[in-house]
Chain A
């Protein structure tokens, strides 16, 4: 594939976003803004228990309440509601419990829907929901991930096990590397073995716009507006699960207020709204409250990682063994089981590991189900390897950047086939790291760190390093098929030249805040040589853009953008013979540049807009030419996409309070050619804060009874402006060779890289107290306890070296205390 080397006029420009006008003036089309004539409102009755048998539900009083239209239980709609889909069974024998949107006889997590009230106003529906009388018989709940993996308590007693699927990759079996057990055994004799166990705490995507859905069943077609990332997938699944024709279902994702993976689920609420609207023959709306969103929208991460890294004495890594437990929650969500599998290909990151083994056991528990959250599997992988490489450097007494450089793939070695079997097309880790070090003032900060340690300063400085790559731009359909993923990886685009000379662009990549309308306009403006302002991008309505696979996994630009390039190029191709005909020249003599066809060697020419008008009038077209100037393209990528970068973080830790303060954060990402630097920087900033938040603040905590205690923004600490700092962001450019634009995905990069950078910095600040791990989130209490238990702090640190310590039974390493929720 040819990569465009010279950036054209629009590409690379800091264009302000087209989307902003409606968003800054309050003219935005959120789903919850919608009111339709006769519209009814739903309120959900949710289980307060993590696990309980529903012995009876009395709806009499609720039904009699003012303005109530219907009250239903799971039993009432058992036949219509179907089972929520699981699109990625990771093994043929995966245990997948049936998943009715409204629980029928057993509630399997606190927050699960057990009854639904429909009323003429949202307030009336909420009031009546209070009157639904549900009798429960509480059952023992499977809450702790490790215990649940041992089947101590069953999340679904009828299944007889909590073990859903065991998925394994071994480089020796795959032929991509050697035997990791042999490498580890050898290293135990004459090398170094690092063993650790890390917790990826449960996170809540916490998009700002709560999920909302409106279904209008009136007319010939059922129309659903939903705050979803995946209107096309949703339409397909709604039609399939509910047994209606796909052409009779229209899904519209209007403006969507953030997603981060959290809005790619096909939700129970969407299915219930569909069922109730069809039953009642009236439009039905449901908008969740924030606490409902926290309790019952899907969560992310939630894994235990048991890791073994082997190396030679000089620091050359010889093997990496990864053994995961992944908490699925009460059900296998849409692609929930596949998230760790996606991560499996990334544990070797940017390194030339000669041997690798990955194993994940997915486990059912009585908690909200987990699925993709910004990065989906890759943040967990990057955290594991970047923490381990840092620990290896400490063991060897060398700089953490030095150990990375020793093991990473050199620029001249690309393309490179990784031990996980992926072909990395391009990368230049040397360049990104050198630039990051320079920006950060690495050597100066190391010197300051030494001074503070020497002076026993109560405020200690820590420096964290994270180098990363990710597989994004999901992805070649054939590869997804080989992983039993339920959909393809293609994307669709249409480019239509209108008779006015304006351009209408349709993309299947539905946006939820990323700025597609702007970036895609830039691409098309350049390919067609038309003004940026003349391009209009339409998305998020299955009637307008019938084909697509939506937005997740940093795929919009690298897959959807490439589809656009191809559709636009086809339009030029289609216009050429028409131009030749109208200019009375041979097509071979025509050049196309700046939106004009010109006859070589003359000043004769014609704009592409004029050709569009000529095809509309169709008075004078060559024989056999269709009277229109538009084209479609469906692009299936030949490879994943591999952005990379180096992130450096400095934190200050008050050893007397345990408070962690961000001091400086530098990141140099390489996403190949950049379409809009302004948008890219914005994506990086937001991604960084989400990753930093995992390291320092955010955690979904269930108490001993299985109640989510972090079910609001009071308890779930999404960072504020006052918690964060301004970032130092730059990039290097190593074009992707697998798409025409030479660009790579950026949406998840910041999140993937930043979590290990911050935790490495936190541990680095207090390692001289004998601490080699702090469990995420590194709250002041955890940090303080670790320091306190080490006998350090208060300006009187000990000088004992960190002693690696591994206790698989407790998962404890070092002296870091664990004071987290019941499920850890």
Chain B
């Protein structure tokens, strides 16, 4: 067991964990952040995407011990004082989710995408979300949500 400490959605947490424990399991099972979910075992689906020191990572690709001393933000830490993050609001406004299982990861990735490129083209959005799978929306409305959150005009 290894002792770790990190900030998750603004709160400090510390635990003894097995060195093999993945960050996603740590967040879900130890910290109770079940908003972050597991969709695959090959790092392809992106449902577990969180921010590590402000950059998106697939939390199934990071060991909990690697996050020791770092800052983690999950989808549960986005809304501040009851106000949705603009990306959350855009997903709602554009109907960019159906079953919602990929949504936390998709939102976290989309925020990071705009951090790098505040006014992405449609192609840039599509490429930027390539690591996150959605089975319900056909991506059409997800692309519109990212355009909306970036303050760009969107089509129907």
Q: Which of A523-549 contact B (CB under 8 A)?
A: none
- Contacting residues, chain A, for B74 (C-beta < 8 A): 26
Q: Which of A498-515 contact B (CB under 8 A)?
A: 512-515
Closest-CB distance, B78 to chain A (whole angstroms): 7
Does B133 lie at the interface of the complex (its beta carbon under 8 Å from any beta carbon of A)?
yes
Q: Which of B7-65 contact A (CB under 8 A)?
A: 18, 28, 33-42, 44-45, 47
Q: What is the CA–CA distance of A515 and B78 in the complex, to the nearest angstrom?
A: 24
Whether A25 and B76, one on each chain, are in contact in the complex, defined by CB atoms closer than 8 angstroms, is yes
Does A661 lie at the interface of the complex (its beta carbon under 8 Å from any beta carbon of B)?
no
Q: Which of B91-132 contact A (CB under 8 A)?
A: 91-93, 95, 97-104, 107, 122, 125-127, 129-132
Over the window 27-43 of chain A, the binary record of Cβ atoms lying under 8 Å from chain B Cβ atoms (1 yes, 0 no) is: 11010110000000000
Q: What is the CA–CA distance of A394 and B28 in the complex, to the nearest angstrom?
A: 57
Whether B98 and A514, one on each chain, are in contact in the complex, defined by CB atoms closer than 8 angstroms, is yes
- Contacting residues, chain B, for A64 (C-beta < 8 A): none
- Contacting residues, chain A, for B36 (C-beta < 8 A): 26
**Within the complex, which residue of A25, A258, A290, A727 is in contact with B140, where a contact is CB–CB below 8 Å?**
A727
Whether B139 and A724, one on each chain, are in contact in the complex, defined by CB atoms closer than 8 angstroms, is yes
Whether A20 and B135, one on each chain, are in contact in the complex, defined by CB atoms closer than 8 angstroms, is no
**Within the complex, which residue of B79, B91, B97, B139 is in contact with A721, where a contact is CB–CB below 8 Å?**
B139
- Contacting residues, chain A, for B79 (C-beta < 8 A): 25
Given contacts A686-B135, A713-B44, contact A20 B97 (CB under 8 A): yes
- Contacting residues, chain A, for B137 (C-beta < 8 A): 682, 685-686
Stretch at the interface among A182-190, A204-212, A309-317, A331-339: A204-212
Whether A513 and B98, one on each chain, are in contact in the complex, defined by CB atoms closer than 8 angstroms, is yes
Whether A712 and B99, one on each chain, are in contact in the complex, defined by CB atoms closer than 8 angstroms, is no
Whether A255 and B138, one on each chain, are in contact in the complex, defined by CB atoms closer than 8 angstroms, is no
Q: What is the CA–CA distance of A27 and B142 in the complex, to the nearest angstrom?
A: 20
Q: Which of A667-691 contact B (CB under 8 A)?
A: 678-679, 681-683, 685-690
- Contacting residues, chain B, for A678 (C-beta < 8 A): 95
Whether A679 and B39, one on each chain, are in contact in the complex, defined by CB atoms closer than 8 angstroms, is no
Whether A713 and B133, one on each chain, are in contact in the complex, defined by CB atoms closer than 8 angstroms, is yes
For B34, B35, B74, B135, the residue with the greatest tally of chain A CB atoms inside 10 Å of its CB is B135
Whether A721 and B130, one on each chain, are in contact in the complex, defined by CB atoms closer than 8 angstroms, is yes
Whether A688 and B138, one on each chain, are in contact in the complex, defined by CB atoms closer than 8 angstroms, is yes
Q: What is the CA–CA distance of A28 and B35 in the complex, to the nearest angstrom?
A: 7
Q: Which of A8-35 contact B (CB under 8 A)?
A: 16-17, 19-28, 30, 32-33
Whether B37 and A724, one on each chain, are in contact in the complex, defined by CB atoms closer than 8 angstroms, is no
Does B150 lie at the interface of the complex (its beta carbon under 8 Å from any beta carbon of A)?
no
Whether B129 and A25, one on each chain, are in contact in the complex, defined by CB atoms closer than 8 angstroms, is no
Nearest residue, chain A, Cβ from B154: A726
Whether B100 and A19, one on each chain, are in contact in the complex, defined by CB atoms closer than 8 angstroms, is yes
Whether B34 and A25, one on each chain, are in contact in the complex, defined by CB atoms closer than 8 angstroms, is no
**Within the complex, which residue of A19, A208, A290, A721 is in contact with B125, where a contact is CB–CB below 8 Å?**
A721
Q: What is the CA–CA distance of A30 and B33 in the complex, to the nearest angstrom?
A: 12
Whether B47 and A208, one on each chain, are in contact in the complex, defined by CB atoms closer than 8 angstroms, is yes
Whether A290 and B40, one on each chain, are in contact in the complex, defined by CB atoms closer than 8 angstroms, is yes
Whether A30 and B139, one on each chain, are in contact in the complex, defined by CB atoms closer than 8 angstroms, is no
Whether A721 and B126, one on each chain, are in contact in the complex, defined by CB atoms closer than 8 angstroms, is yes
Given contacts A24-B84, A721-B139, contact A714 B76 (CB under 8 A): no
Nearest residue, chain B, Cβ from A727: B140
Q: What is the CA–CA distance of A16 and B75 in the complex, to the nearest angstrom?
A: 20
- Contacting residues, chain A, for B133 (C-beta < 8 A): 208, 713, 718, 720
- Contacting residues, chain A, for B138 (C-beta < 8 A): 685-690, 724, 727, 750
Does B88 lie at the interface of the complex (its beta carbon under 8 Å from any beta carbon of A)?
yes
Does B141 lie at the interface of the complex (its beta carbon under 8 Å from any beta carbon of A)?
yes
Q: What is the CA–CA distance of A123 and B18 in the complex, to the nearest angstrom?
A: 11
Does A256 lie at the interface of the complex (its beta carbon under 8 Å from any beta carbon of B)?
yes
Nearest residue, chain B, Cβ from A205: B135
**Within the complex, which residue of A256, A682, A688 is in contact with B95, where a contact is CB–CB below 8 Å?**
A682
Whether A256 and B99, one on each chain, are in contact in the complex, defined by CB atoms closer than 8 angstroms, is yes
Nearest residue, chain A, Cβ from B47: A208
Closest-CB distance, B112 to chain A (whole angstroms): 15
Whether A721 and B95, one on each chain, are in contact in the complex, defined by CB atoms closer than 8 angstroms, is no
Does B151 lie at the interface of the complex (its beta carbon under 8 Å from any beta carbon of A)?
no
- Contacting residues, chain B, for A210 (C-beta < 8 A): 38-39
- Contacting residues, chain B, for A722 (C-beta < 8 A): 126-127, 129-130
For A19, A20, A206, the residue with the greatest tally of chain B CB atoms inside 10 Å of its CB is A20
- Contacting residues, chain B, for A247 (C-beta < 8 A): none
Q: What is the CA–CA distance of A787 and B117 in the complex, to the nearest angstrom?
A: 40
- Contacting residues, chain A, for B99 (C-beta < 8 A): 207-209, 255-258, 512-513
Whether B100 and A255, one on each chain, are in contact in the complex, defined by CB atoms closer than 8 angstroms, is yes
Whether A28 and B139, one on each chain, are in contact in the complex, defined by CB atoms closer than 8 angstroms, is no
Whether B141 and A209, one on each chain, are in contact in the complex, defined by CB atoms closer than 8 angstroms, is no
Nearest residue, chain B, Cβ from A289: B41
Q: What is the CA–CA distance of A750 and B122 in the complex, to the nearest angstrom?
A: 23
**Within the complex, which residue of B39, B92, B134 is in contact with A20, where a contact is CB–CB below 8 Å?**
B92
- Contacting residues, chain A, for B42 (C-beta < 8 A): 290-291, 712-714
**Within the complex, which residue of B35, B41, B78 is in contact with A291, where a contact is CB–CB below 8 Å?**
B41
Given contacts A688-B138, A713-B42, A726-B143, contact A26 B35 (CB under 8 A): yes
- Contacting residues, chain B, for A24 (C-beta < 8 A): 75, 84, 88, 91-92, 97, 100, 103-104, 107
Q: What is the CA–CA distance of A258 and B93 in the complex, to the nearest angstrom?
A: 21
Does A271 lie at the interface of the complex (its beta carbon under 8 Å from any beta carbon of B)?
no
- Contacting residues, chain A, for B93 (C-beta < 8 A): 16
Closest-CB distance, A109 to chain B (whole angstroms): 20
Whether B140 and A713, one on each chain, are in contact in the complex, defined by CB atoms closer than 8 angstroms, is no
Closest-CB distance, A637 to chain B (whole angstroms): 25
- Contacting residues, chain B, for A642 (C-beta < 8 A): none
Nearest residue, chain A, Cβ from B29: A35
For A17, A515, A685, the residue with the greatest tally of chain B CB atoms inside 10 Å of its CB is A685
- Contacting residues, chain B, for A712 (C-beta < 8 A): 40-42, 44
Does A260 lie at the interface of the complex (its beta carbon under 8 Å from any beta carbon of B)?
yes
- Contacting residues, chain B, for A750 (C-beta < 8 A): 138
Q: What is the CA–CA distance of A33 and B35 in the complex, to the nearest angstrom?
A: 9
Given contacts A26-B34, A726-B155, contact A685 B140 (CB under 8 A): yes
- Contacting residues, chain B, for A256 (C-beta < 8 A): 99
Closest-CB distance, A662 to chain B (whole angstroms): 11
Closest-CB distance, A159 to chain B (whole angstroms): 35
Please list the residues of chain B having a beta carbon within 8 angstroms of any beta carbon in chain A.
Answer: 18, 28, 33-42, 44-45, 47, 74-76, 78-79, 84, 88, 91-93, 95, 97-104, 107, 122, 125-127, 129-143, 155-156
Residue pairs across A and B with Cβ atoms less than 8 A apart, 6 shown, are A26-B76, A27-B35, A207-B135, A209-B99, A255-B100, A722-B129
Q: A683-B98, A687-B138 are in contact. List 18 more A-B contacts (CB 8 A).
A: A16-B95, A17-B92, A17-B95, A23-B103, A24-B88, A25-B76, A28-B101, A208-B99, A208-B102, A208-B133, A257-B101, A258-B136, A513-B98, A515-B98, A686-B137, A712-B40, A721-B142, A722-B126
Q: Closest 4 A-B residue pairs measured CB to CB?
A: A26-B35, A513-B99, A23-B100, A257-B101
